[in-house]
Amino acid sequence: MRIQILTIFPELFGPFLATSLVGRAVAGGKLRVEVRDLRDFALDRHRVVDDVPYGGGGGMVMVAPVWLRAVRELSQESRPWRILLSPQGRRLDDAGVRELARRDDLLLLCGRYEGIDERVRELVVDEEVSIGDYVLSGGELPAMVLTEALSREVPGVVQQRESVERDSFRTGLLDYPHYTRPPEVEGLRVPEVLTSGDHAAIERWRLRAALAATLAKRPELLERADLPPAARAELERLRREASPGGVAGSREN
């Protein structure tokens, strides 16, 4: 997968691209990331990339000609799918990440200031992507978020493929809790089943814990989750137990 990133702050990406899973993917050639300084495409010797907004108001706007030149030059080797990171975009989720990963050749546009001249979006952007309903000062952190999420979709980047497939959201459920040594921490013991060696029982416990976590923290995910019949049945049991007339309720009476 190739990801080109256009930004006026290329230095923000250094440690990110050299560390952990993304770092290994880049070093191993599985992920090709090219960070390009937008100012290199400026048309004047002061490398200016912004100007005052038409209509007045606060803040500066990034000028169209510099962006158009940069995007077109970076599309010469091949035509990448061009993504503008912006709070106005489609909100990123697991399905969106997988869809974008299939594109294989991406150009991420990181805006700053009040934004980029609207004609850039109209002329050269394929898609706008937001990483959530809040406003950051630029598209650089969102580009890193997207790059890291995409890197996990590249075969061989996450050593245990199984862990990607079992991740939260992929299953439609939140993750089950994880434990490691020591067996007791400040009076809290690891659930006994996890040390039993009974793999079928461990699987049943993990499914139940994932269902319980989702029911408690993000119940709306359960509406969309494509659960196998055994999981549906377990969920119904959990719901009955949680309801006032259920097992938990009657135990308290």
Positions that interact with ligand ADE (CB under 6 A): 85-87, 130-132, 134-136, 139, 142
**Active site (annotated) includes residue 229:** no
**Active site (annotated) includes residue 37:** no
Nearer to ligand ADE, 136 or 202 (CB): 136
Around 219, how many Cα atoms within 13 Å sit in the side-chain half-sphere? 7
Start-to-end Cα distance in the chain: 59
Residue among 36, 39, 98, 152 flagged as catalytic: 152
Residue among 40, 51, 114, 192 flagged as catalytic: 114
Residue with tokens 């100012």, as numbered in its chain: 39
Nearer to ligand ADE, 25 or 84 (CB): 84
Residue among 39, 87, 166, 175 flagged as catalytic: 87
Closest distance of CB 5 from ligand ADE, Å: 13
Closest distance of CB 110 from ligand ADE, Å: 8
Closest distance of CB 147 from ligand ADE, Å: 13
Fill in the DSSP letter of residue 175. Answer: P
Task: Report angle CA 153, 28, 155 to the nearest 5 degrees.
Answer: 25
Nearer to ligand ADE, 58 or 197 (CB): 58
Please list, in sequence order, all residues whose beta carbon lies within 8 angstroms of the beta carbon of residue 56, skipping any fewer than 6 positions away. Answer: none
Nearer to ligand ADE, 80 or 111 (CB): 111
Which residue type does 132 have? Answer: G
Fill in the DSSP letter of residue 30. Answer: S
H or E element that contains 120:
helix 118-124
Residue among 50, 104, 128, 167 flagged as catalytic: 167
**Active site (annotated) includes residue 167:** yes
In the three-class reduction of DSSP (H, G, I as helix; E, B as strand; rest coil), residue 143 is classed as helix
**Active site (annotated) includes residue 218:** no
Active site members: 87, 114, 152, 167
